[in-house]
Amino acid sequence: MRAHLGDQLVIESPTTGATRRDGEIVGLHHADGTPPYDVRWSDTDEVTLVFPGPDAHVRHVEHGPGAHEPSRPGMDESVAVSDTTPLHESPNPGDIGRRVATERKRQGLTRAETARRARMAPDYLAYLEERQADPSLGSLIRLADALGTSVAALRGGGIDLPPGQGQALLHPQLRDLSPDECRARLSTHGLGRVAVSTPDGPAVVPVNYEVIDDAIAFRTAPDSTPAAAVGTDVAFEVDHVDEAMSQGWSVLVVGPARVATEPDAVRRLADRAHTKPWAGGEREMWVLIQPTRLTGRRISPADQ
């Protein structure tokens, strides 16, 4: 018997009529996938160490072409696992795994800490992040709770819909953020929106930004819409919405924008950048917005 992380272990005995039991394999103790296994049982949500007997078989989890039927007692084991992905192949994470890893790293959490919060084996979390996995709803709920997000967000639900379609809070509280709270939410980098005036009228465009020496810095191309900010007073906005809790915040920066031309300054900006612009292409023009006004607001439950 061989298994991969995420496979299902099924125990049933047709001859005795024993109750069928199944669970998700969340931990391997041997690199070749042989028993024993750490199994999270679907009926109790508990993880136990299992040495499978003759009444157990592995239901392999496959996605896309190459999926195969579960192995059964007495089947040729080489046939049962021939289509599975070898454990030594290069990882190929799925969308859920990428979202989990991104959110975990954004919060500065280790895999071990995230696994502890989600009550799952660290090896299983590594499997979810690195391979095309299809975790159970229970696993997703625990991960969402551990990361302070929602199952829908981990699944990518609503990615093509505008945020904020949930119901308003029963007793919402809208309060102003202090300048220090605004700076904390701007953090070091992220995705924001710059509002500029163009020959065709006002425009608001998203940009990847950095916070360097209290200035908002972003890269763009000289002939792009964001480049119209140079030499004018502009507005720059960052926000975050928690769909599940119907709460969120927004920060607004207002100030003059200029282009960085000094070679040393440009080099320092490039060295301190966390990411390249998501839009791609040649975007080596650095624009700096020096805040003259910094305001923000937060919507939360009245008791927070």
Task: Indicate whether 54 and 146 sit together in one domain.
Answer: no
**Residue numbers of the domain that contains 126:** 95-155
Dump pLDDT digits (tens) for 187-244.
889 999 999 999 999 999 999 999 998 999 999 999 999 999 999 999 999 999 877 6
Task: Indicate whether 261 and 146 sit together in one domain.
Answer: no
Q: Which of 55, 80, 105 is the C-terminal boundary of a domain? A: 80
Task: Indicate whether 219 and 271 sit together in one domain.
Answer: yes
> Is residue 52 a part of any domain in this protein?
yes
Number of domains comprising the chain: 3
Residue bearing tokens 């192995």: 71
Q: Is the pTM of this model over 0.85?
A: no
> Is residue 203 a part of any domain in this protein?
yes
Task: Indicate whether 76 and 187 sit together in one domain.
Answer: no
The answer to which of 47-56, 139-148, 289-298 has the lowest mean pLDDT is 47-56
3-class DSSP string for 212-279: ECCEEEEEECCCCCHHHHCCCEEEEEEEEEECCCCEEEEEEEEEEEEECCCHHHHHHHHHHCCCCCCC
Q: Assign 65 a pLDDT band (cuts: 50, 70, 90).
A: very low
> Is residue 198 a part of any domain in this protein?
yes
Task: Indicate whether 288 and 234 sit together in one domain.
Answer: yes
Q: Which of 47, 80, 113 is the C-terminal boundary of a domain? A: 80
The CA-to-CA distance between both ends of the chain, in Å, stands at 53
Backbone angles phi, psi at 131, to 5 degrees: -130, 165
> Is residue 161 a part of any domain in this protein?
no
Task: Indicate whether 180 and 281 sit together in one domain.
Answer: yes
> Is residue 139 a part of any domain in this protein?
yes
Task: Indicate whether 65 and 137 sit together in one domain.
Answer: no
Distance (Å, rounded) from C-alpha 175 to C-alpha 171? 13
DSSP of the chain:
----TT-EEEEEETTTTEEEEEEEEEEESSTT-PSPEEEEETTT--EEEE---TTEEEE----STT--PPP-TTS-HHHHTTTSPPTTSPP---HHHHHHHHHHHHTT--HHHHHHHHTS-HHHHHHHHHS-----HHHHHHHHHHHTS-HHHHHTTTTTS-S--SPPPSSEEEEEPPHHHHHHHH-SEEEEEEEEEETTEEEEEEEEEEEETTEEEEEE-TTSSGGGGTTSEEEEEEEEEETTTTEEEEEEEEEEEEE---HHHHHHHHHH-SS--TT-S---EEEEE--SEEEEEEEEETT-
pLDDT of residue 68: 37
Task: Indicate whether 294 and 185 sit together in one domain.
Answer: yes
Dump pLDDT digits (tens) for 83-109.
333 333 444 556 788 889 888 888 889
Task: Indicate whether 203 and 290 sit together in one domain.
Answer: yes
> Is residue 204 a part of any domain in this protein?
yes
pLDDT of residue 13: 65
> Tokens for 137?
């709803």
Task: Indicate whether 73 and 140 sit together in one domain.
Answer: no
For the cut 60, the answer to whether the pLDDT of residue 81 exceeds it is: no
> Is residue 20 a part of any domain in this protein?
yes
The answer to which of 3-17, 205-219, 243-257 has the lowest mean pLDDT is 3-17
The CATH number of residue 211's host domain is 2.30.110.10
The CATH number of residue 65's host domain is 2.30.30
The CATH number of residue 129's host domain is 1.10.260.40
> Is residue 88 a part of any domain in this protein?
no
Dump pLDDT digits (tens) for 152-197.
888 877 667 777 777 787 888 999 999 999 999 998 899 999 999 9
Task: Indicate whether 176 and 297 sit together in one domain.
Answer: yes
Task: Indicate whether 205 and 262 sit together in one domain.
Answer: yes
Q: Choose from 1-5, 60-64, 141-145 the range with maximum mean pLDDT.
A: 141-145
